[in-house]
Amino acid sequence: YAVVAPDYAGLGVGTSWDGTAIPHEYGIYQAGGADALNALRAALTAFPERLTTDYVNVGHSQGGAVGWGVSELLAEKKGRFKELVEGHLGTLLFAPPTDAFSLPATSITTWVGKYLNQVYPEFKLSDWLTPLGIDRVTLFNQIEGSQSVSSFLFTPEKEIVQPDWMNTWTVAALKRIVDPGGRPWKGPMLIIHGEKDPAVHYNASLATSKATCKKYPGDLEFLGAPGVGHFPGMYATRSVWMEWIEERFVRHKVRKEGCVQSKVDRFLPYDHYQHDPNSFPLWAGKSEWAYELPQGH
């Protein structure tokens, strides 16, 4: 298979041709979906003799929400990507966040808040964050911090986040554009989620999947992976989803039609599996430097 894997806007390449910064609109999932489809267009244009127009749409975590956005954009009656609809063979999503406001407050107020004025010019970061929180966001941007860095900078929550931030008008407005689901979608779709996911709530994506398929029926299977977390959910089900992709390209019908919830079977009882790794990556250098746990352990 050929894989088209575009960067998120503002990440990877953070500066435009004229030197201006490219904001990363974290959580605006349909914007990411449009970027992904435009990347597919570009790939098909660049390699017309090497690529077929058939494809499977795949995403994990934030990319899972983006992948759901792709499915919704392809379902639009007067869509911008009509020429890409026929080639879509299916959508495979891992741990898609469908309820952004169920995440820790420091996550959405900082990662989303720092660029939210690109969407709502009236928004001020002080609506959500304390002066200390704003200073930490400035530092976070300067050092180009990662998700792990944010877990150090944005604690404790009460010193970073304004106590009444959930009552601001931007929260209600943002909910309409950051949470996938509840809209027409193009299938078939397979959603895989680890039941012990510490980063994206399993029950939230399950509820959204059920509600969406009930409102807009189609072939949507939600596959739970018992005992595993955010990234291991992919590893534990690898044989399942690789076969699912292959069957899409050979034009087989999905094995489970309609709205389906299922689970991966285990060879051994749950307590026979190692939940946490028994070794940790360490920083090379001084012994007082901290180690960090891989997410989804």
pLDDT tens per residue across span 262-278 = 999 877 777 776 655 66
Q: Is residue 46 part of a domain?
A: yes
Q: Which of 125, 155, 175 is the last residue of a domain?
A: 175
Q: Find, among 140, 111, 87, the residue nearest to 23 by Cα.
A: 111
Mean pLDDT, the chain, integer? 89
Residues 215 and 92 reside in one and the same domain:
yes
Parent domain of 59? 29-99+180-265
The predicted pLDDT at position 2 comes to 93
Residues 116 and 72 reside in one and the same domain:
no
Q: Which of 175, 205, 228 is the last residue of a domain?
A: 175
How far is it, in rounded angstroms, from Cα 201 to Cα 131?
30
The residue behind tokens 């795949």 is 58
The predicted pLDDT at position 289 comes to 57
Position 163 pLDDT exceeds 80 = yes
Q: Is residue 55 part of a domain?
A: yes
Q: Is residue 273 part of a domain?
A: no
- The stretch 167-175 carries a mean pLDDT of 91
Instruction: Give the chain as a 3 state SS string.
Output: CCCCCCCCCCCCCCECCCCCECCCCCCCHHHHHHHHHHHHHHHHHHCCCCCCCCEEEEEECHHHHHHHHHHHHHCCCCCCCHHHCCCEEEEEEECCCCCHHHCCHHHHHHHHHHHHHHCCCCCCHHHCECHHHHHHHHHHHHCCCCHHHHHHHCCCHHHHECCCHHHCHHHHHHHHHHCCCCCCCCCCEEEEEECCCCCCCHHHHHHHHHHHHHHCCCCEEEEEECCCCCCHHHHHCHHHHHHHHHHHHCCCCCCCCCEEEEECCCCCCHHHCCCCCCCCCCCCCCCCCCCCCCCCC
Q: Is residue 211 part of a domain?
A: yes
How far is it, in rounded angstroms, from Cα 207 to Cα 71?
18
Residues 60 and 198 reside in one and the same domain:
yes
- The stretch 75-80 carries a mean pLDDT of 91
Q: Is residue 260 part of a domain?
A: yes
Buried b (16+ CB within 10 A) or exposed e, 276-293: eeeeeeeeeeeeeeeeee
- CA 199, 205, 207, 208: dihedral to nearest 10 degrees? 140
Q: Is residue 274 part of a domain?
A: no
Q: Is residue 293 part of a domain?
A: no
CATH code of 186's domain = 3.40.50.1820
Residues 108 and 169 reside in one and the same domain:
yes
How far is it, in rounded angstroms, from Cα 71 to Cα 65?
10
pLDDT digits (tens, 9 = 90+) for 9-67: 887 788 888 998 887 877 889 999 999 999 999 999 999 999 999 999 999 999 999 99
Q: Is residue 290 part of a domain?
A: no
Q: Which residue has the higher pLDDT, 86 or 275?
A: 86
Residues 75 and 118 reside in one and the same domain:
no
Residues 165 and 40 reside in one and the same domain:
no
- The stretch 220-229 carries a mean pLDDT of 93
Position 283 pLDDT exceeds 60 = no
What is the distance of C-alpha 238 from the center of its chain? 18
Residues 185 and 244 reside in one and the same domain:
yes
Residues 94 and 108 reside in one and the same domain:
no
Residues 145 and 86 reside in one and the same domain:
no
- The stretch 218-245 carries a mean pLDDT of 94
Residues 116 and 167 reside in one and the same domain:
yes
Residues 63 and 190 reside in one and the same domain:
yes
Residues 239 and 129 reside in one and the same domain:
no
Q: Which of 175, 190, 224 is the last residue of a domain?
A: 175
The predicted pLDDT at position 290 comes to 54
Number of domains comprising the chain: 2
